[in-house]
Amino acid sequence: MSVQHRLELVGAPASPYTQKMLALLRYRHIPYAVSWGQPGEFCESRGIAKPRPVLMPTFLLEEAGGGVEAVCDSTPIIRRLEDMFTGRSVLPADPALAFVDYLIEDFADEWCTRYMFHYRWHRQRDAENAGTLLPLGMDVSLASETLQQARRFITDRQVGRLYVVGSSDITAPVIEASYRRFLQAMESHLQSQQFMLGARPGAGDFGLFGQLSQLVGFDPTPREIAREVAPRVVAWVDLMQDQSGHQPDDSQWLPLQEQPASLRSLLVEIGRVYAPAQLLNARAVEAGEKTWAGEIDGALWTQQTFPYQAKCLKWTNERYRALGAGDRSRVDSLLAGTGVESMLVQS
């Protein structure tokens, strides 16, 4: 079957973005074929140019000229899939609601992934779990000796990268307190509705699912915390995995003004930790600084500068500025006092 009929992607079971996209493909009834492996090697074996940077998951999509290109970055791919396949959309038609959905997706991809990476490699027992399962997730029959080597190699490399996302002994309490507040906010939100913006899932739900699939399903410490404080979230993760039987209709998007107060608690967490991180990072990118330090949730945070996250902030602002006056004022009243407004430029 050609790419046209069955969408091809390469990823890993323990990659949150791979899980985000697989759940989305199932929900959207998009036929797919996933190869478990390294995108770089996969592209080479197919004679297709690698994307830059090479990230998981990588999709093979048809180019305008008829050829096949390898692409990664789940957020724009979701928008591309909306154009390629009709029905069962994950993007609310109401621009104000769509903006909030985008905020949630961005927060999931860029902040919740810090929970994931931190918990995966910060404590020895979690690192041992991931160090063993990651190579086995590529080849379950790996010889024991090779597994031991791979385990040491991956663990050393990933533990050495913790500082990149800002995880350290100093920031660990901030990350872990944010994870608990986030779980509590989501737990109380799920008491009112099945998904973040109503009775059908948006792109933001899939973003959250991707990270939570790991936090709840793969890494021992965050799994225990989730079971302790957020049983609804644990059950939601199982349900989100496959929403192919859900029958969406447009009335299932709950208008912004009817959303329960619990949505705001989620936004308050975004404003409390993600907004300051985005602003500090963007300033560092502008100043050409390789690392940045600043206060997040009352503690000193330091991490490597990420040009990609500065782009995310730019895209969020472009979307915000594209809102019509009425839509923008509905978004503004929801966001007022959450702290999220600090990362949006009024103009």
Ligand X SMILES: N[C@@H](CCC(=O)N[C@@H](CS)C(=O)NCC(=O)O)C(=O)O
**Residues interacting with ligand X, by CB under 6 A?**
15-17, 55-56, 72-75, 109
Minimum CB–partner distance for residue 21 and ligand X (Å): 8
What does the alpha-carbon distance between residue 35 and residue 44 come to, in Å, rounded to a whole number? 14
What does the alpha-carbon distance between residue 224 and residue 230 come to, in Å, rounded to a whole number? 10
Other residues' Cβ atoms within 10 Å of the Cβ of residue 264 = 18
> Among all residues, whose Cβ is closest to ligand X?
74
Minimum CB–partner distance for residue 325 and ligand X (Å): 31
Minimum CB–partner distance for residue 159 and ligand X (Å): 13
Other residues' Cβ atoms within 10 Å of the Cβ of residue 40 = 14
Give the dihedral sign, CA 111/168/155/304. Answer: positive
3-class secondary structure, 72: strand
Q: Which residue(s) pair with 302 in the sheet?
A: 293
Q: Which is nearer to ligand X, 109 or 205 (CB)?
A: 109
Contacts of 16 (CB under 8 A, 6+ apart): 113, 116, 210, 211, 213, 214
Q: Which is nearer to ligand X, 16 or 222 (CB)?
A: 16
Minimum CB–partner distance for residue 42 and ligand X (Å): 13
Q: Which is nearer to ligand X, 19 or 265 (CB)?
A: 19
- Yes or no: say if 196 and 208 are a contact pair by the CB < 8 Å rule: yes
Q: Which is nearer to ligand X, 69 or 341 (CB)?
A: 69
Show the tokens assigned to 175: 């990350």
Q: Is omega for the bond preceding 57 within 30 degrees of 0, making it cis?
A: yes
For 261, half-sphere exposure in the C-beta direction (CA atoms, 13 angstrom radius) is 0
Minimum CB–partner distance for residue 15 and ligand X (Å): 4
Minimum CB–partner distance for residue 277 and ligand X (Å): 16
Q: Which is nearer to ligand X, 85 or 315 (CB)?
A: 315
Q: Which is nearer to ligand X, 11 or 92 (CB)?
A: 11
Q: Which is nearer to ligand X, 56 or 81 (CB)?
A: 56
Q: Which is nearer to ligand X, 116 or 196 (CB)?
A: 116
Minimum CB–partner distance for residue 134 and ligand X (Å): 10
Strand 7-11 and strand 32-36: pairing? parallel
What does the alpha-carbon distance between residue 142 and residue 135 come to, in Å, rounded to a whole number? 8
What does the alpha-carbon distance between residue 100 and residue 215 come to, in Å, rounded to a whole number? 23
Minimum CB–partner distance for residue 98 and ligand X (Å): 18
